[in-house]
Structure 1
Amino acid sequence: MKYVLFPGCKIPYYVPYYETSNRAVLERFGIELANLEFNCCGYPVRFLDFQSYIYSAARNLAFKSLKVAAHYGCHILRPRDVVRFDHSTTPTKFETLVEVTGGMSVDWSLRLQCCGDPLRDKNEPLSWELLEKKMESARKAEADVLCVACPHCQMQFTRRPEGWTREKDSGLFLPSLLYPQLLGLSLGLDEKVLGLIGFETSGFYTSL
Structure 2
Amino acid sequence: MKIAVYWGCKIPTSQYAYEMSVRQVFPYFDVELFDLSGASCCGGPVRNVNSTAALYLGLRNLALAHKDNFAGLLVPCNECHFMISEAKYRVDNDEEMQRKMQALLSEENLEYSGDVKIWHVIDLLHDKIGVDAIKSKVKKVLKNLKFAAHPGCQIIRPSEIGRVDDSERPSKLENLIEALGAETIGYSEKLDCCGAALLYSHVDTALSLAGAKLKAIQSQGVDGLVDTCPYCHIMYDVKQNEALAMVGGKSTISVLYYTQLLGIALGIEHEKLGLHLNQNIDRKIMSK
TM score, norm. by length of structure 2: 0.49
Matches within 5 A, 1:173-188: 173-188=252-267
In 1, distance between residues paired with 2:241 and 2:210? 16
Contact between 1:67 and 1:145, CA under 8 Å: does it hold in 2?
yes
Indicate if the aligned counterparts of 1:73 and 1:148 stay in contact, CA closer than 8 A: yes
1:93 paired with 2:172, answer yes
Q: Which runs of 5+ in 2 are unaligned?
A: 1-28, 31-128, 244-248
Equivalences, count? 155
The secondary structure found in structure 1 opposite 2:156 is coil
What pairs up with 1:155-194 in 2 under 5 angstroms? 155-160=234-239, 171-194=250-273
Task: Specify the structure having the higher radius of gyration (Cα).
Answer: 1
Instruction: Indicate if the aligned counterparts of 2:150 and 2:190 stay in contact, CA closer than 8 A.
Output: yes
Contact map agreement 1:57 1:187 (CA 8 A) in 2 = yes
Q: In structure 1, what is the equivalent of residue 286 of structure 2?
A: 206
Q: Give the SS at the match of 2:213.
A: helix
Q: Alpha carbon RMSD of aligned pairs, Å?
A: 2.8
1:56 has 2:136 as partner: yes
2:157 aligns with 78
Report the CA distance shift for 1:103/1:113 in structure 2 as closer, same or farther (over 3 A).
same
In the TM superposition, residue 103 of structure 1 has moved relative to its aligned partner by 1.0
Mapped contact 1:132–1:172 kept (Cα < 8 A)? no
Q: 1:143: how far off?
A: 1.1
Question: Aligned pair 1:137/2:220, yes or no?
Answer: no
User: 1:142-163 deviations in whole A, cap 9, x for unaligned?
Assistant: 2111000111101111123899
The normalised TM-score by structure 1 is 0.66
**Cα gap change, 1:113/1:161 in structure 2, threshold over 3 Å: closer, same or farther?**
closer
Q: Offset at 1:122?
A: 0.4
Paired with 1:53 and 1:70, the residues of 2 have a C-alpha distance of: 21
CA separation in 2, counterparts of 1:67 and 1:94?
A: 13
Evaluate the alpha carbon distance shift between residue 181 and residue 162 of structure 1 in structure 2; reply closer, same or farther with a 3 A threshold.
closer
CA distance in 2, matches of 1:181, 1:146: 12
Residue 53 of structure 1: how far off its partner (Å):
7.2
| Amino acid aligned to 1:102 | G
- Taking a change above 3 Å as real, the CA distance of residues 163 and 61 of structure 1, as seen in their structure-2 partners, is closer
Q: In the alignment, which residue of structure 2 is the partner of 1:31? A: none
Q: 2:256, 2:240 → 1: CA distance?
A: 19
Name 1:153's counterpart in structure 2. 232
In the alignment, structure 1 segments of 5+ residues that lack a partner are: 1-45, 165-169
Structure 1 runs (4+) greater than 2 angstroms displaced: 50-57, 160-164, 170-173, 201-208
Tell me if the contact between 1:73 and 1:112 (Cα under 8 Å) persists in the aligned partners. yes
C-alpha distance in structure 1 between counterparts of 2:263 and 2:188, whole Å: 27
Moved more, 113-122 or 192-201: 192-201
Identical aligned residues as a percent: 30
Go from structure 1 to structure 2 and tell me whether the alpha carbon gap of 1:103 and 1:84 turns closer, same or farther (over 3 Å shift). Answer: same
Structure with greater proportional helix content? 2
Corresponding position of 2:199: 120
